[in-house]
Structures are given as structure tokens and as C-alpha cells.
């Protein structure tokens, strides 16, 4: 398009600059030429928390936060959640297109082959305290995989990248299930490769003395839908961590561990755990208005509400709300659902939340489903991390292959002492 330029006048010097726009954005480096003295550093952008900075070009996930749209590789999330399996969606996110039958069979066989963990990983996990938080165990165990696969550091080798991507996706579920069993003091269950990926995960979680675990198909499908919904979400906090750490060319295991650490925080993936704690604190439907008043008075946040990008209903929350019905048909209703529904009703009709465009996000209902399925609260963020690993790895692969990417290294505006005279210890 013609005239895709910006004219900037620097009122300090009176000079005018014409800057070419790039895909509707300003390249920050083009601002560097704007200076008052020739030996000056040049103009920078100040953008704490990256509120208005695109850090990359990506073709994986599209979000329109105002319209409540989420698409992976061009496909609406609603369609994928209804029609696809977890591995079919994972193939799409990683490779750009939906697989045909033989591609999916091959991908499934590859993932299935790599679900086993080295026995020493199991031994390492046995060393955790009985009540260790599963996210702490997950971060450490995924990082430890780096020591078992030292060739993973060859991140510029496409065959190695592919193998480690498959390994990571396959082993995340096994490690997650071991974390769960560890907290319960139950022996770890080895993968059963005659089951599909979600059913196998359920077997590793819940198998007891029976010779073969029989997964409930409704719960297996609900879990699969939740996994599809959580697979990728463009440049969120943990994906940004994945790209930033990966940009130093660290191997994908330690890089994924960094992303898991970012996900752990209560403002990100840790929110679903906080939602359940909040519902416990509210206790009953009658207490909802008083709780909302407390939030409006600035005492805490409504967990599972609000989003940096969505200023409308999070499309994932809508699908999860529907999936909840199917799950509760099997497990019986989670009594916390009534409190959550009332909380949503009160908040969505309240001026405070309307004005700030605060709607339920993906975490508002996911915890209620997970709890009804029998998961402990601490496991919720782990359940988020399993499918999100697919997104992290797709973004990592994209970053490694992007010729414009370099080691991520922001600038700062220095606000400290300029130059100080050293004072010896006895004179301080």
C-alpha cells in the first residue's frame, strides 16, 4: 500500500523524519535515528510489560480480544474443540496444516513411542518431598530431561528439534501423572501405549490394581477439549519466556522449564488454582455480593476474570462452560459451580467490571471441572502446562527459524546514580 509511512517531527530539534511502516507497525530500530546530538544513543520505545510491543511475527495463533476470537493456524477454536483430537490439533499447531490420516498415524506413533521416561527421571522425582507442589516438580523434572538428552542443545538441527519436540510433548503427560501420584503416595504407573494419549494420561493418573484401566469416554473427551483450548495463546507471559530463554539457544528442555515457571504464577496459569481457593473463601451463593464489594474496594482481584488481550468473553471460557455440563453428567455437580455462576452473573452486571471490560477467562471454569474429575487443586496448572507445551514448542521452532530473531535483550531507561565517589567501609 502506498503512503505506508509515518512522518515524525522532533520538537526538540525541529527535524522531520519519515519512517516506513512494517505491516502496520513502527520498527523501533527506525526511531534510533532520532537524536538531538550525533553521539546520542537515539530514541527508544518505553513499554513496560510489553503493552504495545510486537516482539515477533508469528503465523500460529490469532486473537482478536475485542471480538472474542481465537484461531490456531486459521481455524476457529470452536471448530477445533468440536471436531479434532488433541494430537490432530497439536500437529496443526506445530506444522501449520491439519494432518491427513497417514500423517496423523505417523505423528501419533512417534508421540506414543516416547511416552516412557528414563528410570533415573523416576528416581529423581522420588526424591521430592511427599507434599511438593506438582508445578515445582514439573519445572525441575522437565529441566532435568536436558541432562538425559544432551544432543538437544543442537537447536539449529531440524531433525534434533523435531525429535526433542516429540519427546517433550510425549513426556510432559507422563511426568505430570507421576507428580500427581507422588502427592498421593501412590506408585507411578507406566504408560499404556494401547490407549490414546488422553486415555493413557488418565490411566497413569488413576489406575489402581486393575490389570487394565478403563477410561470413561465422556471424561476423556472433556479432558481432550480442555487440552485443545489451552494449547496456544500467542505471546502470553510463558510463551514470551519460552522465546526469550530459547533466544539464547538454550536447549528446549531448560527452555520449556522456564516457560513452565512463568505459567506457575497466579496472574497466569496459576489463576485456576486461585479461582478454587477464592470460591472456597466465598463459601456460599449468599456471600457473593459482599465478596464482589470487597474486590471493588480494591481488596484483591476476582481470580479467573480479566485478560490482557480479551476485552470480551474469552471464547475458551464459553466452550469450557459447555464441557462442564457433560462432565457433571458423569461426576455429579461440583457445588462450587453455583457460586461461580452467581459470581459471573453479579460481576457481569456490575458497573465496575463492565467499565473495565472484565469477563471470565479460560481459568474461571476449568478448575471446577478439574476438581469434579478428581484432580487436586495443585494439579490445575500442571494440566494447563501439558497442552501448552505444544504451543511453546511451535513458537520456539518459529523463533529459531526466524532470521530476524536474535538473543532477546531489551533496553532500559537508567534511573540510578550517575557516578559516585567510593567511600571506604570505615567512613560509611
Q: Does 358 bind ligand ACO (CB under 6 A)?
A: yes
Distance CA 79, CA 383 (A): 22
**Interface with ligand ACO (CB under 6 A), residue from 60, 278, 279, 303:** 303
- Which stretch, 94-102, 116-124, 246-254, 306-314, contacts ligand ACO (CB under 6 A)? 306-314
Q: Does 356 bind ligand ACO (CB under 6 A)?
A: yes
Distance CA 176, CA 196 (A): 16
Q: Does 232 bind ligand ACO (CB under 6 A)?
A: no
55 Cβ partners below 8 Å, 6+ apart? Answer: 235, 240, 243, 408
Q: Does 315 bind ligand ACO (CB under 6 A)?
A: no
Q: Does 118 bind ligand ACO (CB under 6 A)?
A: no
**Interface with ligand ACO (CB under 6 A), residue from 153, 301, 311, 333:** 301
Q: Does 304 bind ligand ACO (CB under 6 A)?
A: yes
Q: Which of 197, 232, 251, 363 is catalytic?
A: 363
Q: Which of 192, 268, 350, 402 is catalytic?
A: 268
Q: Does 369 bind ligand ACO (CB under 6 A)?
A: no
Q: What residues from 78 to 117 belong to the interface with ligand ACO (CB under 6 A)?
A: none
Please count the CA atoms within 13 angstroms of the CA of 389 that sit on its side-chain side. Answer: 30
Q: Count other Cβ atoms within 10 Å, centred on residue 402.
A: 14
User: How, if at all, do strands 15-22 and 25-26 pair?
Assistant: antiparallel
Q: Count other Cβ atoms within 10 Å, centred on residue 28.
A: 14
Which is closer to ligand ACO, CB of 81 or CB of 362? 362
- Which stretch, 84-92, 240-248, 330-338, 356-364, contacts ligand ACO (CB under 6 A)? 356-364
Round to the nearest angstrom and report the end-to-end CA distance of the chain.
64
Which is closer to ligand ACO, CB of 228 or CB of 302? 302
The H or E element that residue 124 is part of is helix 119-126
Which is closer to ligand ACO, CB of 18 or CB of 52? 52
**Interface with ligand ACO (CB under 6 A), residue from 271, 276, 292, 385:** 271
Q: Count other Cβ atoms within 10 Å, centred on residue 131.
A: 9
Grid-cell match 528442555, residue found: 253
**Interface with ligand ACO (CB under 6 A), residue from 58, 115, 141, 361:** 361
- Which stretch, 152-160, 167-175, 178-186, 301-309, contacts ligand ACO (CB under 6 A)? 301-309
Distance CA 320, CA 362 (A): 8
**In angstroms, what CA-CA distances link 203 with 184, 185, 198, 372?**
15, 16, 9, 17
The H or E element that residue 5 is part of is strand 5-10
Supply the minimum distance, in Å, between the C-beta of residue 104 and ligand ACO: 28
Q: Classify residue 339 as exposed, middle or buried by CB count within 10 Å of its CB (0-12, 13-18, 19+).
A: buried
Q: Does 308 bind ligand ACO (CB under 6 A)?
A: yes
- Which stretch, 71-79, 121-129, 131-139, 294-302, contacts ligand ACO (CB under 6 A)? 294-302
Closest residue to ligand ACO in the complex (CB): 306
Q: Does 305 bind ligand ACO (CB under 6 A)?
A: yes
Q: Does 269 bind ligand ACO (CB under 6 A)?
A: yes
- Which stretch, 78-86, 317-325, 357-365, 370-378, contacts ligand ACO (CB under 6 A)? 357-365
Q: Is 307 a catalytic residue?
A: yes
Q: Does 267 bind ligand ACO (CB under 6 A)?
A: yes
Which is closer to ligand ACO, CB of 122 or CB of 294? 294
395 Cβ partners below 8 Å, 6+ apart? Answer: 58, 60, 232, 239, 242, 243
SS3 215: coil
Which is closer to ligand ACO, CB of 89 or CB of 108? 89
Which is closer to ligand ACO, CB of 172 or CB of 202? 172
Q: Is 233 a catalytic residue?
A: no
Q: Is 162 a catalytic residue?
A: no
Q: Classify residue 324 as exposed, middle or buried by CB count within 10 Å of its CB (0-12, 13-18, 19+).
A: buried
Task: Provide the b/e sequence for 416-426 (b: ≥16 CB within 10 Å).
Answer: eeeeeeeeeee
SS3 16: strand
Q: Does 302 bind ligand ACO (CB under 6 A)?
A: yes
Residues of the shown chain interacting with ligand ACO in the complex, contacts defined by CB under 6 A: 267-269, 271, 295, 301-308, 356, 358, 361-363
Catalytically annotated residues = 268, 307, 363
Amino acid at each position: 500500500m502506498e503512503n505506508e509511512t509515518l512522518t515524525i517531527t522532533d520538537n526538540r530539534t525541529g527535524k522531520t523524519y519519515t519512517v516506513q511502516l512494517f505491516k502496520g507497525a513502527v520498527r523501533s530500530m527506525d526511531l534510533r535515528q532520532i537524536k538531538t546530538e550525533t553521539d546520542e544513543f537515539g530514541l527508544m520505545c518505553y513499554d513496560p510489560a510489553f503493552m504495545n510491543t510486537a516482539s515477533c511475527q508469528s503465523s500460529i495463533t490469532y486473537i482478536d480480544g475485542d471480538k472474542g476470537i481465537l484461531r490456531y493456524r486459521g481455524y476457529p477454536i470452536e471448530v477445533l474443540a468440536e471436531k479434532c483430537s488433541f494430537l490432530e490439533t497439536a500437529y496443526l499447531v506445530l506444522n501449520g496444516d491439519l494432518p491427513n490420516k497417514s500423517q496423523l498415524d505417523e505423528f501419533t506413533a512417534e508421540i506414543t513411542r516416547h511416552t516412557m521416561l528414563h528410570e533415573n527421571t523416576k528416581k529423581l522425582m522420588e526424591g521430592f518431598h511427599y507434599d511438593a507442589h506438582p508445578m515445582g516438580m514439573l519445572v525441575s523434572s522437565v529441566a532435568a530431561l536436558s541432562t538425559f538428552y544432551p544432543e538437544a542443545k543442537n537447536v539449529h538441527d531440524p531433525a534434533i528439534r523435531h525429535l526433542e519436540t516429540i519427546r517433550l510433548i510425549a513426556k510432559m503427560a507422563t511426568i505430570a501423572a507421576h507428580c500427581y501420584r507422588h502427592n498421593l503416595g501412590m506408585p507411578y504407573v507406566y504408560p499404556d501405549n494401547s490407549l490414546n494419549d488422553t486415555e493413557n494420561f488418565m490411566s497413569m493418573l488413576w489406575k489402581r490394581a486393575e490389570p487394565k484401566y478403563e477410561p470413561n469416554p465422556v471424561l476423556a473427551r472433556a479432558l481432550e477439549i480442555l487440552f485443545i483450548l489451552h494449547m496456544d495463546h500467542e505471546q502470553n507471559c510463558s510463551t514470551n519466556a519460552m522465546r526469550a530463554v530459547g533466544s539464547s539457544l538454550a536447549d528446549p528442555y531448560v527452555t520449556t522449564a522456564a516457560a513452565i515457571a512463568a505459567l506457575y504464577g497466579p496472574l497466569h496459569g496459576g489463576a485456576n488454582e486461585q479461582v478454587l481457593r477464592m470460591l472456597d473463601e466465598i463459601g456460599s451463593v449468599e456471600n457473593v455480593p459482599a465478596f464482589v464489594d470487597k474486590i471493588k474496594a480494591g481488596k484483591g482481584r476476582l481470580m479467573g476474570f480479566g485478560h490482557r488481550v480479551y476485552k470480551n468473553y474469552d471464547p475458551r471460557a464459553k466452550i469450557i462452560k459447555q464441557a462442564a455440563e457433560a462432565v457433571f453428567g458423569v461426576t455429579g455437580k461440583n457445588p462450587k459451580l453455583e457460586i461461580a455462576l452467581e459470581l459471573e452473573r453479579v460481576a457481569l452486571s456490575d458497573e465496575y467490571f463492565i467499565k473495565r471490560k472484565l469477563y471470565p477467562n479460560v481459568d474461571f471454569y476449568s478448575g471446577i471441572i478439574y476438581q469434579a474429575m478428581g484432580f487436586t487443586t495443585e494439579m490445575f496448572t500442571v494440566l494447563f502446562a501439558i497442552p501448552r507445551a505444544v504451543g511453546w514448542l511451535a513458537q520456539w521452532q518459529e523463533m529459531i527459524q526466524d532470521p530476524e530473531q536474535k538473543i532477546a535483550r531489551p533496553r532500559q531507561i537508567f534511573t540510578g546514580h550517575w557516578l559516585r565517589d567510593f567511600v571506604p567501609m570505615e567512613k560509611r
